[in-house]
Amino acid sequence: LWLATICEYLVYADMEYIIDNTEGLIDFELNDENDENLDELFSAFKEIGRLVEYPGLKPDILGEYFIVKHIEDLSKSPKKRLRKVVISLLELAWELRPENTAWMTYLTADNFGSSQGYATIEHFLLSTSIRDSESFNAEDFMLEMGILFYNNQCHSKAIDYLSNTILTDNHIAVNMLALCQSHINNHTAAEKYFLKAITLNNPSASYNLAMLYMNLGRNLEAEQHFMSAIELYKHSNAVLQLALLYYNGNIKKDSALQLITNRENGNFHINPFVALIINLWCSQFDYYFDNRDSLTSLALAADKNDIEWYLFNLLVHKQEAYVLEEYQKGSILFMFLDNENIY
């Protein structure tokens, strides 16, 4: 049942292979009586008189739980013989249907990746016998597992997969490995892998490295890589972040305004609150007043943090009169703010 679940199905012909390869571990042999029982089992899944697959446990969530629970139970067994069954079962699954096993393992990791049973599976996945399997696309699987754990914020586990030598020249894996290192504050390693991903022509690596540099206060290097992301890949967020880099440093007003203007005239979306602030900073008051009437509809679609940031920056740019006017008339801009956040 476990093999049928992790392999997604078994066929009758698999049984002889399974029994031959579990000698001494599974007390089962093909004889007339057992052969009849197996025939009865597989006959329960007939399709127009033809024997079809025995599907194991369904739906997937039940199967995933069973996969890890059965391994946990076997691993805790006081009988050494049963503990050996764990590895034999994993090896059989990969030998029978590596792609199907990879998929079920992927699903299992998403829901039960923190369980003790999955830790056993994971250790086996990283073994040489699996990486070198000719019938299994190890590179794709290692990458997908890395992405899965990254998306679930399990960065250390993601690093285990993404740092595998089989992914050394995979630009997606190297860029994601850098992101993982950044999340665990290993900035030196993150920089190293971002730079490597850039040499592998990853379209996001320049932007990601620029963000790393900006967060570390290395603004000149951040500026260079934001510009590379814009020039080489037309990275839309790089335009916005570079404009904000200039704004926060109170430098290169003309360049910031040009970035915002060019972006607005193109096919990019820009946070309209940021556009207003950059224009205010650059003394484009006509632009600001032309957009006053649109602020109500803008606020309806805005994030609360955007509105707080916008109002704060209006005060920085000495638009106190406007902020007070909006507050006194109960502007929709203030409906999203807590009273303690209004100063």
Q: Report the C-alpha gap between 317 and 280 in whole angstroms.
A: 7
Quick check: 315 pLDDT over 70?
no
Q: Give me the mean pLDDT over the 235-257 stretch.
A: 89
Stronger pLDDT, 173 or 150, i.e. the higher one: 173
User: How confident is residue 222, by pLDDT bands cut at 50, 70 and 90?
Assistant: very high
pLDDT in tens, 43-57: 555 454 444 677 788
Q: Give me the mean pLDDT over the 305-309 stretch.
A: 71
pLDDT in tens, 123-154: 666 554 455 555 567 787 788 778 877 876 77
- Quote the pLDDT of residue 150: 82
pLDDT in tens, 286-306: 555 555 555 555 555 566 677
3-class DSSP assignment, residue 65: helix
Residue pair 145/125 in contact (Cβ under 8 Å)? The answer is: yes
User: How confident is residue 114, by pLDDT bands cut at 50, 70 and 90?
Assistant: confident
pLDDT in tens, 267-289: 556 677 777 777 777 776 555 55
Residues 6+ apart with CB under 8 A from 29: 19
Comparing 65-69, 134-138, 175-179, 245-249, which segment has the lowest mean pLDDT?
134-138
Residues 6+ apart with CB under 8 A from 50: none
Q: Report the C-alpha gap between 185 and 250 in whole angstroms.
A: 28
Quick check: 101 pLDDT over 80?
yes
3-class DSSP assignment, residue 287: helix
Q: What is the mean pLDDT of the chain?
A: 76
Write phi, then psi, for 20 (nearest 5 degrees): -65, -30
- Quote the pLDDT of residue 83: 65
Quick check: 200 pLDDT over 70?
yes
